[in-house]
Amino acid sequence: MSLQDYLNQNPIIAILRGIRLEDVPWVADILIEAGICIIEIPLNSPQPFQSIQSLVTHAGNYALVGAGTVTSLEECHQLIASGGQLMVAPNCNPEIIKQAKQQGLIVLPGVATPTEAFQAIHAGADALKIFPINTLGGCAVLKAWSGVLPQNTLLIPVGGVDSSNIKQYLNAGAHGVGLSSSLYQPGMSPHALKENTHQLLAAL
């Protein structure tokens, strides 16, 4: 399936920053049960590639699994070796975007300006991670960019998105949203994660 297909099922991208390897199975179970089907583990987490491999084994039949904070081609190779399909970057590097696409990855680079947005599109990005949306102007940025970018461009705001504003971003033109600390925090209990998913889905 394409990134658009997964977003059509559920627009939330779960960012499991800091997750421990042993917590991957139960966290995945809760997210999948809630209908969240795009999950990324940032590479500045403990044992990220082992955790990605565990996530693929545990939830790969139900979710698009990938890595966040990817900044090199070597990390792309390790992501593929771990079984992940989604590459999320904090920045826009056209060469890495092109190489990652050639390797068959779904690529979601970070952009903060229209110039970076067009560079990423021309390099073959599947979607644009507008980051950090909370310091770039929020919904106003989405509306402004939507007026100049190609009509089929998928926009994913990340940074400060939570249950209080998730619906506003989607109404302003976002095709999905990346959620980190408002959804998952290292060391949280299963009950707390269930509460967060419930609040976010209710806000949708």
Residue type, 158: V
Give yes or no: 98 in active site: no
Helices (H), the chain: 3-9, 24-34, 48-59, 73-81, 94-102, 114-123, 133-136, 139-146, 166-171, 190-203
Give yes or no: 129 in active site: yes
- Per-residue CA distances from 159 to 110, 124, 156, 197 (Å): 11, 23, 10, 17
Instruction: DSSP letter for 177, please.
Output: E
Q: Which of 22, 40, 194, 195 is catalytic?
A: 40
Q: Which of 129, 167, 194, 195 is catalytic?
A: 129
List the end-to-end C-alpha distance of the chain, in Å, as a whole number.
23
Helix (H, G, I), strand (E, B) or coil at 90: coil
Which sequence positions are flagged as catalytic? 40, 129
